[in-house]
Structure 1
Amino acid sequence: MTGDEAHDSQVVKQLIDSVEAADYLLAVKGYDAENIRIFVKNKNMIPVIPMRSNSKRLSKEFDKYLYQLRYLVENVFSRLKHFRAIAIRFDKLARNDQSMVYIACMFIWCKTK
């Protein structure tokens, strides 16, 4: 968890290191940096990151179908934002914030069943 003033791409390497096994990394244009792509490839994952509009290079790995499936994750984040404590980052401690996310995910999961 980063502070509000820091972009998540600054800690993307620690996040990728915490993943045990994955074939692809789906990310938005904000993560379009050559050092991130190289780091992901060194972890034996395929980066599915669209190029920025001002990019002069092409991405051979970009899979449009996989990128479109990213909306499933976006929908979960959208539903999590309905919980006020999560949306405004009410909790000061990361463990309390994480606990609230777990509880909210339980409610979302129970609602879909």
Structure 2
Amino acid sequence: MIGGDVHDSKVANGLIELLPQNQFIVVDKGYDSEAIRDKVRECNSTPIIPVRGFVMWLFHIKRR
């Protein structure tokens, strides 16, 4: 376990490595980052992570 003053996303790589190999890894939008998605893919899994509102807004603006 990690201390209450450390957000899980800061230690996500280590946590992901501890998971058994799965086809999909589903996590909260608090883990929305390309680095975390890349780590999940390195473990031969597919990341299922909802994007944060601001990220969706940027995506919408860039598509115009």
Q: If the TM-score is normalised by the length of the shorter chain, which range does it land in?
A: 0.7 to 0.9
For the residues of structure 2 that align with 1:25 and 1:57, how far apart are their CA atoms?
23
Where relative contact order (Cα < 8 A, 6+ residues apart) is larger, the structure is 2
Residue 32 of structure 1 and its aligned partner are, at CA, apart by 0.1
**Which residue is 1:15 aligned to?**
15
- Uncovered stretches (5+) of structure 1, i.e. residues with no partner: 59-113
Query: Matched residue of 1:5: which SS?
Result: coil
Q: What TM-score, normalized to structure 2?
A: 0.80
- Uncovered stretches (5+) of structure 2, i.e. residues with no partner: none
Residue 12 of structure 1 and its aligned partner are, at CA, apart by 1.2
**How many residue pairs get matched?**
58
- Which amino acid is 2:32 matched to? D
**Which residue is 2:40 aligned to?**
40
**Which residue is 1:3 aligned to?**
3
Deviations 1:22-51 (A, max 9, x none): 111111110001100111111111111000
- Which amino acid is 2:11 matched to? V
Structure 1 segments, 4+ long, off by >6 Å, are none
Question: Conserved in 1, the CA contact under 8 Å of 2:13 and 2:39?
Answer: yes
For the residues of structure 2 that align with 1:26 and 1:5, how far apart are their CA atoms?
23
Cα gap change, 1:57/1:38 in structure 2, threshold over 3 Å: closer, same or farther?
farther
For the residues of structure 2 that align with 1:26 and 1:13, how far apart are their CA atoms?
14
Query: Matched residue of 1:16: which SS?
Result: helix
**Max radius of gyration: which structure?**
1
